[in-house]
Amino acid sequence: MRSLILLFFVLITGPSLAETPGEPPAGKAVATFAGGCFWCVEEAFDGVDGVESTTSGYTGGDTVDPTYQQVSSGGTGHAEAVRVVYDPDVVSYRRLLDVFWHNIDPTVEDRQFCDVGSQYRSAIFFHDDNQRRLARETRTEIEESGVLPGPVKTEIVPAQTFYIAEDYHQNYHQENPIRYKWYTSGCGRYDRLETLWGEKARTG
CA distance 52 to 82: 13
Instruction: Tell me how far apart the alpha carbons of residues 154 and 174 are, in angstroms, rounded to a whole number.
Output: 27
Determine the Cα–Cα distance for residues 85 and 1; give it in Å rounded to an integer: 30
Active-site annotation holds for 37:
yes
Question: DSSP H helical segments within the chain, as ranges?
Answer: 2-12, 38-46, 68-72, 93-101, 129-145, 172-175, 177-187, 189-197
Catalytic-role residue among 37, 40, 114, 187: 37
What does the chain come to in residues? Answer: 204
Strand partners, 126: 158
- What is the edge-to-edge ordering of all strands in the sheet holding 29-35? 155-158, 122-126, 29-35, 79-86, 51-59, 163-164
Active site residues: 37
